[in-house]
Structure 1
Amino acid sequence: MHNGADQFAKNILREALSRASSPETEVEVLAATQKIDVYSVPDPARDAERAGMGLLGELSAEPSLFEPFHRTPGLRQVRSCLRKQLTWYHELERRARASASPVGASSNDAEPDASTQPAVAFPALVVISSGRPESVLAAYECHEVKPGVYHAAPGLALRIVVLSELPRTQETLLLRLLGSGRVLREALADLAAMREDAWERSVATPLLVHFQLGLDEQATSEEDDVSAEIRAWFEDYQQKLRNEGRDEGLKEGRDEGLKEGGRNLLLRQLRARFGELPAAVVARIDAADVAELERWGERVLGARTLDEVLGAPS
């Protein structure tokens, strides 16, 4: 996932899911040159938050791999995702066996008796598609469980979300922001009409400003309408900053938006990973610049302690 739209999709999924799960991005799948876009494990202590997340909350009620596609995927792309799902399940089983093995035993020994293996939940695969992937729906005998949501044949644990078929409701808003064309334009309009304190706005607005989806470069003809809508959103956001007294100009307003978004993102990541943060750590993050926030954010997933993320105070 390299372009702005894909990066936006991955980040907004991670941020929204962090309300009720412990999502990770760019999860390495061992023994394969693949990475899971977003892997989410639900936190039972945050069931109430997940219940308020609409369709995304329903889809994240079990351990799940999320694979968003800005364009409609074909069979080859979905098969690649299924390979990630199976390889990741194998890795989860390996880790469970290693954790359950006596000290000194090798997790690579002969396959243990199935009755003695630790129970490992098979993760669901959620493929998010802008359009309707006819070949995929047919190949895996998918049936519609609600508008825009399909389940594959039993045993596959495959869900297909067709963004263009989702109803235009608040429950689907976060997912519709991952769409294109009409779907994205309507989602942006719905987001702009929400209350200022809506959780969807707190998740989406900083990311829309940060990624901009081609705002600073010439859009292709296919993306003209989308870019125009996002440009309007960006300008509205800047106007809000000016109205609040931060009228130092477009660049300073954007930097402030990026810093606030980066701060909120890092705090959520750290709390999900390490629990409640000391006041001194929050103060350091509040005082950090954009470059520091980005550097610390890159360390979160691989760090075992807060010190490995932030380093010693200067």
Structure 2
Amino acid sequence: MSTRLRKLDMAKNPFDQFSKQLLEEVLAPFGAVKTSLEVPGEPQFVDVFFEPTSPPANTQDLGLLGRMTQQPSLLEPFRNQPTPSEIRSCLLKLYQVHGNVQRKAKRDHESIPDSDLPFLWILASFASQTLLNGFGGTLTEDWGAGVYCFHPSFRTALIAINQLPNTEETLLLRLLGKGQTQKQAINQVIAFDTRDSRRAAILGLLANWKISIEITGQVDAEEELMMALSQAFLEWEQQTELRGELRGRQEGRQEGEQRGALKEAQALILRQLTRRIGTVAPAIQTQLQSLSLPQLENLGEALLDFSSPTDLLDWLQNH
């Protein structure tokens, strides 16, 4: 996972941008991810379309999100409860994608069973029972709390993020929640071991979201969210600075080791020259100190044929 801040998108909805970036970040190693995928007809865009590798990679580290995306999937995140109209719009995009898949299969003289068609996941921070009843959303033993499956023919499920259990398996989805649900998830990311690559990557995305909110002037809209994002930003900044400091120390050690090796090589060459041609003049010693390690290695081979100081002067002039 990348640890740098991404280029800011001056979108009117920073959450929309954050949710797309987070899903793209965590899913990209396991398949093809397309954000804002345009579908035919009236201009409409799928927030995130994911197509897993074949065969599907091991997505155990993604928890519940990994289970959800074992098949081609449309993911539509909502900061608030979606309206019935918004859900129907998601369904329309799903069936337009199905139409594209089926037309391609027909051109290739192939048959696509319904079970292989892309699945729609509506990710809502919360959802009322009235909304769920309106689309026949029901809980199942296979998926557990918070995952409401529509009738199988719809190829759709709605995730009520606030109802997901507070476990490691649901963490990535709870980051797309709201209020205490999201705050707890952010705190859990902060509590990750600093050596965990997910920590820096997710904190970087949260820091990016904070900056986007500030740029678009929505700071006062969600004070609780800004407090959580500010903490994430500070943690990301500290970790980035620490990594930079450690990198500097490592580079310093390497540079010191190289200088030490160079001095040892210079001393060795000087001893060998003294044995071969006698005392080496101070001015010549100064020239030897300007040679690189590879040059000193070459001189170490050449001096075996030296018989006088003139041989050394000739070599230095040519090299």
- TM tier relative to shorter chain: 0.5 to 0.7
Shift of 1:182: 1.0
1:180 maps to what in 2?
178
79 and 57 in structure 1: CA distance in 2 versus 1, 3 angstrom threshold: same
Contact in 2 for aligned 1:74/1:133 (Cα 8 Å): no
Contact in 2 for aligned 1:21/1:40 (Cα 8 Å): yes
Given candidates 158, 161, 165, the residue that maps to 1:160 is: 158
2:123 maps to what in 1?
128
2:238 maps to what in 1?
239
Shift of 1:199: 4.9
Given candidates 138, 141, 147, the residue that maps to 2:136 is: 141
Shift of 1:16: 1.1
Q: Counterparts of 1:190-229 in structure 2 under 5 Å? A: 190-212=188-210, 213-216=212-215, 218-219=217-218, 221-229=220-228
Structure 1 unmatched runs, 5+: 101-116, 247-314
- The alignment status of 1:29 with 2:29, answered yes or no, reads no
Contact in 2 for aligned 1:215/1:230 (Cα 8 Å): no
Shift of 1:15: 1.5
Larger Rg: 2
2:282 maps to what in 1?
none
Question: Could you say what secondary structure the match of 2:187 adopts?
Answer: helix
52 and 32 in structure 1: CA distance in 2 versus 1, 3 angstrom threshold: same
Mapped to 2, the partners of 1:194 and 1:87 lie a distance apart of 40
Contact in 1 for aligned 2:12/2:216 (Cα 8 Å): no
199 and 167 in structure 1: CA distance in 2 versus 1, 3 angstrom threshold: farther
161 and 155 in structure 1: CA distance in 2 versus 1, 3 angstrom threshold: same
State the TM-score, normalizing by the size of structure 1. 0.68
Which protein is richer in helix relative to its size?
Answer: 2
Q: Counterparts of 1:83-94 in structure 2 under 5 Å? A: 83-94=92-103
Number of residue pairs the alignment of both structures matches: 230
Shift of 1:27: 0.9
75 and 135 in structure 1: CA distance in 2 versus 1, 3 angstrom threshold: farther
Mapped to 1, the partners of 2:51 and 2:12 lie a distance apart of 24
Mapped to 2, the partners of 1:237 and 1:59 lie a distance apart of 29
Shift of 1:219: 4.2
- The alignment status of 1:3 with 2:13, answered yes or no, reads yes
Mapped to 2, the partners of 1:46 and 1:157 lie a distance apart of 19
Please tell me the residue identity of whatever aligns with 2:170.
T
Question: Could you say what secondary structure the match of 1:127 adopts?
Answer: strand
126 and 2 in structure 1: CA distance in 2 versus 1, 3 angstrom threshold: farther
Q: Counterparts of 1:224-303 in structure 2 under 5 Å? A: 224-245=223-244
1:79 maps to what in 2?
88
Please tell me the residue identity of whatever aligns with 1:91.
N
Given candidates 34, 50, 69, the residue that maps to 1:60 is: 69
Shift of 1:178: 0.8
Name whichever of 35-44 and 233-242 sits farther off: 233-242
38 and 182 in structure 1: CA distance in 2 versus 1, 3 angstrom threshold: same
Mapped to 1, the partners of 2:173 and 2:47 lie a distance apart of 15
Given candidates 13, 18, 27, the residue that maps to 2:28 is: 18
Mapped to 1, the partners of 2:118 and 2:138 lie a distance apart of 19
**Cα root mean square deviation, aligned:** 2.2
Mapped to 1, the partners of 2:199 and 2:108 lie a distance apart of 40
Identity of aligned pairs, percent? 28
Shift of 1:195: 1.9
Structure 2 unmatched runs, 5+: 1-10, 246-319
Please tell me the residue identity of whatever aligns with 2:107.
A
Shift of 1:138: 0.5
- The alignment status of 1:97 with 2:100, answered yes or no, reads no
221 and 245 in structure 1: CA distance in 2 versus 1, 3 angstrom threshold: closer
Shift of 1:140: 1.8
Please tell me the residue identity of whatever aligns with 2:34.
E
Given candidates 107, 111, 121, the residue that maps to 1:118 is: 111
Please tell me the residue identity of whatever aligns with 2:63.
G
Question: Could you say what secondary structure the match of 1:18 adopts?
Answer: helix
Please tell me the residue identity of whatever aligns with 1:42.
P
Given candidates 19, 22, 40, the residue that maps to 2:50 is: 40
